[in-house]
Amino acid sequence: MQTDLVAPETPGTPPVNGGESVPGLRERQKRARRESLIDAAHVLVEEHGLDGVTVEGICAHAGVSTRTFFNYFESKDDAVLAFEPFVLDPEVTATFAAGGPTGSLPQDLERLVVALVDRPHPSRERIACAMALARREPRLLARQVLAFERHHAEIAALVAARLGVEPGAPRVELLTLLVMALTRATFATWEASGQEGPVQDGVPHVIRELRELMREAPLS
């Protein structure tokens, strides 16, 4: 089994879901509804501050029910931050933890990153607005930190299960941060390309960039 931290170049590696999926009408409607709630939260918090805004007010502005709101967000804070739920297909996680799908850790880490980015992503404008509001509202910054820690813990548990070690092991921490960095860099690459094509197509490019960097400036 290979033990390199970065997967070898494997152009054309298929997505873990078997190929690019085109969202249907129902999914597009759900996405539009979610984005309308984010936009409503941004407008209202910009005008009234976080404490001056309620879930009911956000829903009224977006034209949806409060029951609908909680199908998308746990709280108004999450709506302002445009949080995307961290959800991985149970089959993907079970396969990875069991040593698959290829048996090569580098290649399977690449597949895991593909699975992480193969989901809707807020636009650059919405993220920028969320970050600007978070700088004004300390509670939102605390919520961001909590979300990061939760995301980190879930990936660490998955990596630890794959390696058969404790989640706090140094190698688990290294691989967890690598997965999170590759995920973020892939979204950044997709944004820079004008959001052309599936986000997951950027994963091999980001990995090649990292390989080149490590080749040019090896760590001693």
Percent of residues, the chain, with pLDDT higher than 70: 87
Q: What is the pLDDT of residue 127?
A: 86
Domain boundaries, the chain: 24-80, 85-220
Query: In whole angstroms, what is the distance from residue 101 CA to residue 78 CA?
Result: 33
Please name the CATH architecture into which domain 85-220 falls.
Answer: Orthogonal Bundle (1.10)
206-211-215-217 Cα dihedral, nearest 10 degrees: 50
- Could you please state the CATH topology (level 3) that the domain comprising 24-80 is classified under: Arc Repressor Mutant, subunit A (1.10.10)
pLDDT 10s digits, 27-85: 888 889 999 999 999 999 999 999 999 999 999 999 999 999 999 999 999 999 998 77
pLDDT 10s digits, 115-167: 998 877 787 788 889 999 999 998 998 998 888 899 999 999 999 999 999 99
pLDDT score of 17 more than 50 = no
Least confident window among 15-24, 103-112, 120-129, 155-164: 15-24
Q: Please, what's the largest Cα pairwise distance for the chain?
A: 58
pLDDT 10s digits, 27-37: 888 889 999 99
Q: What is the pLDDT of residue 204?
A: 93
Query: In whole angstroms, what is the distance from residue 135 CA to residue 64 CA?
Result: 28
